[in-house]
Chains A and B, each alone.
Chain A
């Protein structure tokens, strides 16, 4: 027999009494599981936003994106728009559940943007990661993707590493972004000194909050040592 309205009201009241409703309010933040970043952002990344992770060359931007995907795939689906340079074992080592990660092959920036559009509209993935290496998508495209992310309540992570972007491209992307994190490697960490006796074990990362729509203080911080996958 279907529950009657009073029964449902009672269930709803009990649901609120357990504090689950207040927890639902906090779910507007997506915790990154990186203590320093969460502390700086006041608990996590805002859901329904476009986040940029910037840096040139070895900057650690993809490492942070991998952590976000690991968080997303713990309880749901994540999506990664792959430009062809993906190394899945490193993602797995970062805790990403590969069986819950949609890897969308998109060779060109336009295809990547269209794939992100479809993914965000579907509301299936909590985190969508796309890398833009020197791409020149128009500001209108980023604005549309940011709007879709907001409607879907998902986090769209745009990784700008590898080839440096033009000033115009950065400006277009930053305008649409809710949070802009700039990353760079402070120093690589290694064991041994040289030859086969030495090995890079990771690097120390410095990240700077360049933009946050909802917070005023923008302070740089250091993410602790990262472990290198071998």
Chain B
């Protein structure tokens, strides 16, 4: 049984709303935060009946001086719809359609123009909507209409999504005096990570980021925040990432204290394959990303392509993050490109743009510096930003030199430039 609590009064802020949800934890730990003012409580397995639950909910909300409207039903929608019938309403199992039938369409909370269209068609209640043929109604009103039609008949297959609980997991270590060596800091860090990981495991969580506060003898505090490539509760993975991060850091004064905090907590548990030969080890990737970043001073990149005319605008870079992959079994089921054979494509090297000396014959490049142009194709005109100050107009050519090299050159105004070469 699902119980819906709808609060008609204005809840002032999100903080107050979350306090209310925390208070409702006393009734049941399974609470779904639908939106500010509406929450669903899953009462499966809870003792008592609807009257008891309703009384408990009111008792929990007494400090907030609110007037809640409580209703119950066999699924999420029915519980919500029950609150429209007045406080304390219930929709019994097996009587969903007939209880919902006289209710107005506004219970569905769909767009106002959809409701207006339905009114024009003479459909004003959920019962009238449920009487419409499913197929033609969905074809006319789009994919969301399937959900509305089901809801009007008291069917709601959407899952109950319990809200996460905010818990703070952190550990601190403050010593007398300062750390004499890097090894002492790493040792202290390992102890703190051990404590953090045991707390994470106990609460069934994983951390997707770590924050280290380093207290220095000069009374300053340095703060390092580390994003993990994948949420983890593994001690080894966390230590490797933090160690790699610290390897690239220096501090103006000796370290006298450490505080470690786990951030971005996620529910624990992840699918692990039995034969993991081809699976990517996310923890190792996180470590290597942190090490490379510490060494290079800039993050490892991932390229993304996009449609554009100039070569240099056809791609962008962003920090590398490992995209969530679907399970292997699922990939095979859909027969994705696991078996595709890659094609051999000459690679363009984008060289630093340099001005070149080009001689022309009949309007085409005949030589570049000392080198003779054997074949030339083009020009291909690229003109962009004619409406803005950054107006780019150039003619691009592919040329084959007598050395065998194939280059991409372009003319902008009266000047010629080398853009890249194929390899």
Task: Give Cα distance in the complex from A55 to B378, angstroms.
Answer: 27
Task: Give Cα distance in the complex from A102 to B300, angstroms.
Answer: 6
Assess whether A62 is in contact with B296, with CB atoms less than 8 Å apart.
Answer: no
- Quick check: is B46 within 8 A (CB to CB) of the other chain? no
Contacts between the two chains (Cβ within 8 Å), count: 194
29 A-B interface contacts by CB (under 8 A):
A33-B341, A62-B347, A62-B349, A63-B344, A65-B347, A75-B278, A85-B350, A85-B420, A90-B345, A90-B347, A90-B348, A93-B343, A95-B342, A98-B304, A101-B302, A102-B288, A103-B317, A104-B292, A104-B296, A105-B296, A115-B295, A123-B284, A185-B404, A196-B379, A200-B422, A202-B345, A226-B346, A227-B345, A229-B346
Assess whether B375 is in contact with A190, with CB atoms less than 8 Å apart.
Answer: yes
Counting chain B CB atoms within 10 Å of each CB, the highest count among A55, A102, A228 belongs to A102
Question: Which residues of chain B have C-beta atoms less than 8 A from A95's C-beta?
Answer: 340-343
Assess whether A190 is in contact with B377, with CB atoms less than 8 Å apart.
Answer: yes
- Contact partner of B280 (CB less than 8 A), chosen from A64, A76, A98, A228, is A76
Question: Which residues of chain A have C-beta atoms less than 8 A from B420's C-beta?
Answer: 85, 87
Question: Which residues of chain B have C-beta atoms less than 8 A from A184's C-beta?
Answer: 404
Task: Give Cα distance in the complex from A228 to B364, angstroms.
Answer: 22
Assess whether B305 is in contact with A92, with CB atoms less than 8 Å apart.
Answer: yes
- Quick check: is B57 within 8 A (CB to CB) of the other chain? no
Question: Which residues of chain B have C-beta atoms less than 8 A from A229's C-beta?
Answer: 345-346, 348
Assess whether B342 is in contact with A200, with CB atoms less than 8 Å apart.
Answer: no
Question: Which residues of chain A have C-beta atoms less than 8 A from B301's C-beta?
Answer: 82, 102-105
- Quick check: is A194 within 8 A (CB to CB) of the other chain? yes
Binary CB contact string for chain A from 73 to 114 against chain B (1 if under 8 A, 0 otherwise): 011110000101111111111111011111111100001001
- Contact partner of B303 (CB less than 8 A), chosen from A63, A88, A94, A202, is A88
Task: Give Cα distance in the complex from A34 to B345, angstroms.
Answer: 12
Assess whether B295 is in contact with A114, with CB atoms less than 8 Å apart.
Answer: yes
- Which residues does B use to contact A, with CB under 8 Å? 278, 280-281, 284-285, 287-289, 291-292, 295-296, 298, 300-305, 311, 314-315, 317, 320, 323, 337-338, 340-352, 364, 375-380, 398, 400, 403-406, 420-423
Given contacts A67-B344, A88-B315, contact A99 B284 (CB under 8 A): no
Task: Give Cα distance in the complex from A65 to B347, angstroms.
Answer: 9
- Quick check: is A223 within 8 A (CB to CB) of the other chain? yes
- Contact partner of B288 (CB less than 8 A), chosen from A85, A93, A124, is A124
Assess whether A162 is in contact with B349, with CB atoms less than 8 Å apart.
Answer: yes
Question: Which residues of chain B have C-beta atoms less than 8 A from A89's C-beta?
Answer: 305, 314-315
Task: Give Cα distance in the complex from A34 to B342, angstroms.
Answer: 9
Question: Which residues of chain B have C-beta atoms less than 8 A from A161's C-beta?
Answer: 423
Task: Give Cα distance in the complex from A162 to B376, angstroms.
Answer: 21
Distance between A111 CB and nearest chain B CB, rounded to angstroms: 7
Binary CB contact string for chain A from 48 to 73 against chain B (1 if under 8 A, 0 otherwise): 00000001011111111111001100
B317 nearest in chain A by CB position: A103
Binary CB contact string for chain A from 165 to 203 against chain B (1 if under 8 A, 0 otherwise): 000000000000000000011001010101110111011
Assess whether A228 is in contact with B346, with CB atoms less than 8 Å apart.
Answer: yes
Assess whether A195 is in contact with B364, with CB atoms less than 8 Å apart.
Answer: yes
Task: Give Cα distance in the complex from A75 to B347, angstroms.
Answer: 22
Question: Which residues of chain B have C-beta atoms less than 8 A from A84's C-beta?
Answer: 352
Give me 8 other A-B pairs in contact (C-beta within 8 A), A88-B315, A124-B284, A200-B406 excluded. A33-B341, A57-B423, A60-B423, A89-B305, A111-B295, A194-B377, A203-B406, A226-B344
Assess whether A111 is in contact with B296, with CB atoms less than 8 Å apart.
Answer: yes
- Quick check: is A9 within 8 A (CB to CB) of the other chain? no
Question: Which residues of chain A have C-beta atoms less than 8 A from B311's C-beta?
Answer: 87
B301 nearest in chain A by CB position: A103
- Quick check: is A47 within 8 A (CB to CB) of the other chain? no
Question: Which residues of chain A have C-beta atoms less than 8 A from B320's C-beta?
Answer: 102-103
Task: Give Cα distance in the complex from A55 to B337, angstroms.
Answer: 32
Assess whether A196 is in contact with B377, with CB atoms less than 8 Å apart.
Answer: yes
Given contacts A89-B315, A105-B298, A115-B295, contact A66 B345 (CB under 8 A): yes
- Quick check: is A39 within 8 A (CB to CB) of the other chain? no
Assess whether B423 is in contact with A98, with CB atoms less than 8 Å apart.
Answer: no
Task: Give Cα distance in the complex from A202 to B350, angstroms.
Answer: 17
Task: Give Cα distance in the complex from A200 to B296, angstroms.
Answer: 38
Given contacts A74-B338, A85-B349, contact A115 B285 (CB under 8 A): no
- Quick check: is A122 within 8 A (CB to CB) of the other chain? yes
Assess whether B380 is in contact with A196, with CB atoms less than 8 Å apart.
Answer: yes
- Quick check: is A119 within 8 A (CB to CB) of the other chain? yes
- Quick check: is A118 within 8 A (CB to CB) of the other chain? yes
Assess whether A122 is in contact with B291, with CB atoms less than 8 Å apart.
Answer: yes
Task: Give Cα distance in the complex from A194 to B406, angstroms.
Answer: 15
Task: Give Cα distance in the complex from A65 to B342, angstroms.
Answer: 12
Given contacts A57-B405, A85-B350, contact A223 B291 (CB under 8 A): no
Question: Which residues of chain B have C-beta atoms less than 8 A from A111's C-beta?
Answer: 295-296
Assess whether A104 is in contact with B364, with CB atoms less than 8 Å apart.
Answer: no
Question: Which residues of chain A have C-beta atoms less than 8 A from B287's C-beta?
Answer: 122
- Contact partner of A71 (CB less than 8 A), chosen from B342, B346, B375, is B342
